[in-house]
Structure 1
Amino acid sequence: MAIRSALLALVAGFCWVSAVGAQEDGAAKYQDADGEEIFGPDYQPQSAPEKGLPLYIGRPNAGISVPDGLLLLPQDSFRAMSDTWSLPREDLQRQLPNDVPLLRDVRKGIQTWQMPRLTPNRRAPIQSTDATAEMKVHYVYVGQGAGAIIELPCGVAAVDLGGEFGGGSGSVDGGALFVSYLKEFMAQHPVYGNKLDVVYLSHAHADHINGSTELRESGIRVEKVVDNGQTTADGSVGKQTEFRNWATEGDLKRRYSAVELARQVTATGATNAAIDPFSCATVTAFWGGANERLSIPTYSNPNNHSVVLRFDFGQASFLFMGDLEADAAKDMIDQFDENIEVFDADVLQLAHHGAENGISDELLNVISPRIAILSMGDKASTGSKSAWKHGHPRLDSLSILQDDPVTVGDMRSTTQTFWGSPGAKKPPKEFAVSRAIYGTGWEGTITVTATQSGQYKVSANEGH
């Protein structure tokens, strides 16, 4: 352990710089050259001591179809434990199907093992007979950051809690903006009982969890929490740990799920009763905490430990990338090379607010989105965490989204002129958007409405 710690410290020393001063929320101990909080010699995440519910095999509406019987099997049961298995050998039913996509070095250890009868961890999604049933995703304007509300006929969730923070000129309190929008939403939808069925935290960066304090004080209840499992008492990871413990009231075994790379075995993603508490939709999680990769410089940034989420509502599909950067996204695609179609989705929330390192032709080719959403700040904001400081969204990213042959599939009804940045702290330039690319910093909160037949309608609130 001492050798591992020394190695991590040595590697981290090449990619971190000490914060010149404490960030506005007092979180960052180490920052990279772009001012993002990163891990450093004495700021290292640990795996959650209590991982909550076991991860089960995901069955998203894309990629290889998984047999029903296999959905009852926890992913941990696929791992060989010396000469024994992690489940009893009684009541054997059938052999493991040959067509189940498994990550590397797993199948050869399973051979002809058979699986016992198990109790389902979650209900299968119920297809609504109501042709008018809709799913809505509210991508809330939170300045520079991200926060979304998932509105379903059978429940409601939040993906990240936004947003920009700090007291610089023109900056906004994104966390307060998100919770304010959420409170208004709950007041308008009393059917949800002022309760979030689940809060998903993609990763521990302030612009994604900055509303956790406001949410705790809002009176809105949280039933379950899903995050990347990273745990410590310091920095933004400390905030994530604190929120997890508060929301679950110590009942982590039933109300929490850690999504960690090391726990995932099948190349169909992961699910359980926390990741997917809904009867009318299917939610699948991918990637997440990769603490075993912390010795790789790329993984000193919490961005690359993002939980990636997929929502399926009938034929409609939404993908949330957190802030997963291109290098880690390539690693993820490599891990899922037996089943990369699992990431094929219609509505994509781009990683990292439209930064160049959050997008690639390879990733877009795999996802083939019809609609792209950028959660980013207003160009008028010049505060410490503004889009202006980071140069989001980049003009190069916008060009990739529109350039042939890899493009966003749908078109806007009319071409509109917005803006993008050539680089950090550089004046933005106008950019004509003809395809279905929407930005919260351009148009305010964006709502995408989907039917179960896969029809979409996009609306924007320009007042922000």
Structure 2
Amino acid sequence: MENFQKEKVTPAQKPGLFRRLAALAVAAALALGLAACDVSGVVPGGSADVIPNPAASASTVDSVNAPFEMHFIDVGQALSVLIECDGQFMLYDGGNVDDGSLVVSYLQNQGVEGLEYVFCSHAHEDHVGGLAAALAYFPANHVYAPVTEASTKCFQDFVKYTQQQGLQVEVPAVGTTWQLGGATITQLGPVAQYSDTNDTSLVLRIDYGATSFLLTGDMEADAERDLVNSGANLKVDVLQVGHHGSSTSTSYVFLNAVLPEMGIISCGVNNKYGHPHEETLSILRDAGVDVYRTDLLGTITIGSDGQNYTVGTEHYATDAELNPTAPAASSTAQQAYIGNVNSKKFHLPTCPNLPAEKNQILFSSYDEAVAAGYTPCSTCIQ
């Protein structure tokens, strides 16, 4: 496993997404930004603020060896995340049914003997499928899902092995918090009822010291918007990019609320869905998010000491491979507009009359702004 040290960027150092998008909208500003960011010496899977860890750069390691670790297990076109803090473990999703033995083996290798919490983000097989195997092998204290029943055999097996432990699948409420060692887990979503199973995904924020993480399952744009409007604290360092990098997730509005340094995409090599989609990669690039992908890097492990975090990957991949989109791809394909929540007018990012950032709302299209009840600025939109 390759191992790199990532210095945490404080909120004061990190520019808002609006300002970054505005810069991308101006060709000269874009050119200056590219000239100022020389990535010729960047380590695999990183960006210019990722530097090699001298203690490990010449060797492979089994773990990032930190008091807090988040493992994005390479389960192909699926999702499974193991989290360890101070010797306690939780599992968020288990991949497909066929991934069950791989997940169990990985947990064994990490020294797992029991799980404090098991979360099924939602009832689709590529998230719940392998959880039955994990529950058949490891004792758990609590098991959670957004529903207690579903028609698929894989979900019914998940319920069966939960009940064999004398437990019931619990449906947690938004605002519920849990402790995992020194880490705090908070459920942020879903904040409404949805007919789309992806939007029912349990959204978890995890804080350890000054570092923060967001797990979103397959949450899509409708649930993202509702979550942003709920006022939840979404700003984190590391985002699990929703729905395997599909363009149905990771909307401009949501990404502006999260402003992560890193985006982790769990997807399969040459998967039939084309994940991650170019639109999503372009939006992440425009937002200055470092992309890490299991299809190219294998299992990705993030370790935190509460201040900084270390990223370990199984395989090598360059920045250009991880995010092959052109720097201005999304801004040329789709024009962003900035609304003023007070005046209800919307502007181009280059408008001289932009509101203060706290009064801004981002729209990904002209029609979206109009549908939200905003009118175009007469200065910048003719």
TM more than 0.5: yes
Alignment match, 2:360: none
CA RMSD between the two structures: 2.3
**Residue number among 135, 158, 171 corresponding to 1:258 in the alignment:** 171
8 Å CA contact 1:364–1:407 kept in 2: the answer is no
Secondary structure, in 3 states, of the residue corresponding to 2:144? strand
Task: Map Cα deviations across residues 70-105 of structure 1 (whole Å, 9 max, x no partner).
Answer: xxxxxxxxxxxxxxxxxxxxxxxxxxxxxxxxxxxx
Alignment match, 1:397: 280
Q: Deviation at 1:395? A: 1.3
Q: Deviation at 1:451? A: 1.5
Rounded to whole Å, the distance in 1 between the matches of 2:195 and 2:161 is: 22
TM-score (norm 2): 0.61
Q: Deviation at 1:232? A: 4.2
Stretches of structure 2 that go unaligned for 5 or more consecutive residues are 1-10, 12-64, 317-382
Alignment of 1:220-239 (within 5 A): 220-232=138-150, 234-239=152-157
Q: Deviation at 1:155? A: 0.8
Alignment match, 2:313: 460
Alignment match, 2:213: 318
**Is 1:153 paired with 2:86?**
yes
Q: Deviation at 1:224? A: 1.4
Rounded to whole Å, the distance in 2 between the matches of 1:289 and 1:231 is: 20
Q: Deviation at 1:257? A: 3.6
Secondary structure, in 3 states, of the residue corresponding to 1:359? coil
Rounded to whole Å, the distance in 2 between the matches of 1:450 and 1:300 is: 37
8 Å CA contact 2:73–2:300 kept in 1: the answer is yes
Alignment of 1:350-369 (within 5 A): 350-369=241-260
- Flag the 1:278–1:216 CA change in 2: closer, same or farther, 3 A: closer
8 Å CA contact 1:259–1:288 kept in 2: the answer is no
8 Å CA contact 1:289–1:307 kept in 2: the answer is no
Q: Deviation at 1:133? A: 5.9
Alignment of 1:95-244 (within 5 A): 134-163=67-96, 173-186=98-111, 194-218=113-137, 220-232=138-150, 234-244=152-162
Rounded to whole Å, the distance in 2 between the matches of 1:235 and 1:330 is: 32
Alignment of 1:59-74 (within 5 A): none
- Flag the 1:320–1:161 CA change in 2: closer, same or farther, 3 A: same
Rounded to whole Å, the distance in 1 between the matches of 2:150 and 2:284 is: 37
**Residue number among 310, 334, 346 corresponding to 2:237 in the alignment:** 346
Corresponding letter in the other structure for 2:281: L
8 Å CA contact 2:86–2:181 kept in 1: the answer is no
Q: Deviation at 1:324? A: 0.4
Secondary structure, in 3 states, of the residue corresponding to 2:310? strand
Q: Deviation at 1:195? A: 0.8
- Flag the 1:141–1:149 CA change in 2: closer, same or farther, 3 A: same
Q: Deviation at 1:217? A: 3.7
**Is 1:282 paired with 2:184?**
yes
Q: Deviation at 1:215? A: 1.7
Alignment match, 1:407: 288
- Flag the 1:226–1:184 CA change in 2: closer, same or farther, 3 A: same
Rounded to whole Å, the distance in 2 between the matches of 1:322 and 1:456 is: 22
Alignment match, 1:449: 303
Alignment match, 2:338: none
Secondary structure, in 3 states, of the residue corresponding to 1:458? strand
Secondary structure, in 3 states, of the residue corresponding to 1:198? strand
Alignment match, 1:304: 199
Task: Map Cα deviations across residues 294-325 of structure 1 (whole Å, 9 max, x no partner).
Answer: xxxxx333111000011111111110001001
Rounded to whole Å, the distance in 1 between the matches of 2:94 and 2:264 is: 16
- Flag the 1:202–1:176 CA change in 2: closer, same or farther, 3 A: same
Secondary structure, in 3 states, of the residue corresponding to 2:81? strand
Corresponding letter in the other structure for 1:175: G
Paired residues, what number? 253
Secondary structure, in 3 states, of the residue corresponding to 2:77? coil
Q: Deviation at 1:332? A: 1.9
Alignment match, 1:370: 261
8 Å CA contact 1:202–1:307 kept in 2: the answer is yes
- Flag the 1:353–1:133 CA change in 2: closer, same or farther, 3 A: closer
Rounded to whole Å, the distance in 2 between the matches of 1:329 and 1:283 is: 19
Q: Deviation at 1:241? A: 3.1
8 Å CA contact 2:191–2:226 kept in 1: the answer is no
Corresponding letter in the other structure for 2:226: D
Rounded to whole Å, the distance in 2 between the matches of 1:184 and 1:160 is: 18
Alignment match, 1:270: 176
**Is 1:329 paired with 2:329?**
no
Q: Deviation at 1:214? A: 2.0
Corresponding letter in the other structure for 1:343: L
Rounded to whole Å, the distance in 2 between the matches of 1:245 and 1:277 is: 23
Secondary structure, in 3 states, of the residue corresponding to 2:110? helix
Rounded to whole Å, the distance in 1 between the matches of 2:162 and 2:147 is: 10
Task: Map Cα deviations across residues 21-47 of structure 1 (whole Å, 9 max, x no partner).
Answer: xxxxxxxxxxxxxxxxxxxxxxxxxxx
8 Å CA contact 1:259–1:287 kept in 2: the answer is no
Task: Map Cα deviations across residues 325-376 of structure 1 (whole Å, 9 max, x no partner).
Answer: 1111112222x1xx34x11110110110000011111111000001110011
Q: Deviation at 1:243? A: 4.0
Percent identity, please.
33
